[in-house]
Amino acid sequence: MSASPSNFIRDIIVEDLKTGRYNRVHTRFPPEPNGYLHIGHAKAICLSFGLAAEFGGQTNLRFDDTNPSKEDLEYVQSIIEDVSWMGFDWEDRLFYASDYFDQLYEWAVQLIKAGKAYVDDLSADEIRQYRGTLTQPGKESPYRKRPVEENLQLFERMRAGEFPDGSRTLRAKIDMASPNLNMRDPVIYRILHAEHHRTGAKWCIYPMYDFAHGQSDSIEKITHSICTLEFEDHRPLYNWFVEQLGIFHPRQIEFDRLNLTYTLMSKRKLLALVEKGLVRGWDDPRMPTLAGIRRRGYTPQAIRNFVTAIGVSKTNGMIELAMLEHFIREDLNKRALRVMGVLHPLRVVIDNYPEGQAEEMNAINNPEDESAGSRKVPFSRVLYIEQDDFRENPPKQFYRLSPGREVRLRYGYFITCTGVVKNDAGEVVEVHCTYDPATRGGNAPDGRKVKSTIHWVSAAHALDAEVRLYENLFTTEDPNDVPEGQDFTANLNPNSLQVLTHCKLEPSLAHATAGSRYQFERLGYFSVDPDSKAGQPVFNRTVALKDTWQKIEKRSAASPLKTTS
């Protein structure tokens, strides 16, 4: 693996180590358990864990669970599973912001005593009005000058549950005229009579993100707190709290979020897809969630390679999905066993092959990996080939089977098409061929060449399977780019899932286990879906193989210059 290129975060860390600002590197990955992790989080995970590892440091996993109304145990479990699946280890350092609620409360009291925080009786609406706008300064709350003692009592009573939700807040006393809205006396505690998935009914006031995050970092002695760009405006506040409190001062560094074409990366919208039943769940193979792409057949290694390749900066860009697909192909090309499977079967009868005969052909499991060995594939008189591999009237550059033409059956024989059988609708339903017994295994002793090699499955031995083909979930590069008055679901691709039944697979796949990945030769990479039952395998297409022929076809369709052939 080539050394990853330099990036600005690494530069900052190197500098901090050199100047002595820190003498170690300790990062954290701080998800809120309010949804499943997605490929964008994978970037953050790789960054935080990767950078720390590079400098011999450590990384904590910490759940930012300060809002009980949105969070759930299901999400914490999925996150734990996903981060470990990615191959990262937080050892015994699994934390929760809720572990720090007592400390956070004490720090709030400390701020009140220092005259740096006050209990406000303004309603949410009033607070908004008092905040001012982007261009106009805010106004100070009439409660801003409350005496320390009164604030202390009120805050204690808030904690004791004497007040209803939303009736009061604790605010930091900073500057209502700051051009940074985050500094206009931000709310730091709100009343929420909600059961927390970890602390139960112990609390009815909960700290806001800004009051919890930096201090949690501080408690854990995090040196470099890496987060996404939208928190840049929060950094002054992050710093303000640790400075006012006089506690360990981590450094927040912001980087650009991952955006992928044809992909939605908002937990809120992903949740909507799940809740509206527009996908089959968080782990639907069309979802950009780690659970989804794992089920789709992606490997952690491919994702890590991808993240390394895209780098990190502060520019808002959008990465082409093709880049991700390249890395899964690259990884699977090295490790996936090759098998033959026919998705759209077309019957082929080899007229001069003895009826009732079957032989075992030798097939290589992975040409990229000699240690993968070989297997036997049964051959007989009636086979299935791919419908796309036969054309009665072949266009230019179509090298596959057509009347009078000879092709190679992979690991089988050379066959020549002698005729077709059509149904009443005039569609070819069966192809007749002769084979050359001298070409067993796929080589002609006379040295004659054949333009193409196609895959096949013996009809008598074939394993029936369901295969799920996926296209992009959205039809537009940016799913958020919607016509006036519509939402992102308007861009949903109606063809994102195509279920094929009665696909024909070589019998070696009979005992394939859920999660295992294969290359179906000439088609793509497929993985066994957990929906599979004994004798009824279900495969997901992870990604298709690159397809030069499809490209040629598309091009000639686009330029109808030479319709004659």
Partner RNA sequence: UGGGCGGUCGACUAAUGGUAGGUCAAGUGCCUUUGGAGCACUUUGUCUAGGUUCGAAUCCUAGCCGCCCAGCCA
DSSP 154-189: HHHHHHTT-S-TTS-EEEE-S-TT-SSGGGSS-EEE
Binders of RNA in range 364-423 (CB under 7 A)? 366-368, 397-400, 408, 410-411
Binders of RNA in range 236-265 (CB under 7 A)? 256
Nearer Cβ to RNA (51/284) = 51
Q: Are 363 and 376 in contact (CB under 8 A)?
A: yes
Binders of RNA in range 121-150 (CB under 7 A)? 122-124, 127-128, 131, 133-135
State the binding string over 72-101 for RNA (x if CB under 7 A, else -): ------------------------------
Query: In the complex, what is the shortest distance from the CB of residue 230 to RNA, in angstroms, rounded to a whole number?
Result: 4
State the binding string over 148-167 for RNA (x if CB under 7 A, else -): -----------------xxx
Structure tokens at 363: 């097939």
Q: Are 435 and 488 in contact (CB under 8 A)?
A: no
Nearer Cβ to RNA (156/368) = 368
- By CB atoms closer than 10 A (0-12, 13-18, 19+), residue 256 is middle
Nearest to 403 by CA among 379, 378, 420, 425: 420
Q: Which of 32, 71, 254, 506 is catalytic?
A: 32
Q: How many degrees, rounded to 5, is the angle at CA 89 between CA 85 and CA 90?
A: 130
Query: In the complex, what is the shortest distance from the CB of residue 49 to RNA, in angstroms, rounded to a whole number?
Result: 18
Query: In the complex, what is the shortest distance from the CB of residue 6 to RNA, in angstroms, rounded to a whole number?
Result: 4
Binders of RNA in range 425-454 (CB under 7 A)? 441-443, 452-454
Question: Is 32 annotated in the active site?
Answer: yes
Question: Is 533 annotated in the active site?
Answer: no
Nearer Cβ to RNA (25/284) = 25
Binders of RNA in range 481-520 (CB under 7 A)? 519
237 sits in which H/E element: helix 235-245
Q: Where are the alpha helices (DSSP H) in 447-547?
A: none
Residue 263 CB contacts under 8 Å (≥ 6 apart), including other chains: 39, 288, 321, 472, 473, 474, 479
7 touches RNA by CB under 7 A: yes
Binders of RNA in range 201-230 (CB under 7 A)? 206, 208-210, 212-213, 229-230
Question: Is 54 annotated in the active site?
Answer: no
Rounded CA separation 335/190 (Å) = 52
Rounded CA separation 494/498 (Å) = 10
Question: Residue 403 is which amino acid?
Answer: P
Q: Which of 146, 173, 251, 267 is catalytic?
A: 267
Stretch that binds RNA, among 79-87, 325-333, 375-383, 509-517 (CB under 7 A): 325-333
Query: In the complex, what is the shortest distance from the CB of residue 39 to RNA, in angstroms, rounded to a whole number?
Result: 14
Which residues are known to be catalytic? 32, 257, 267
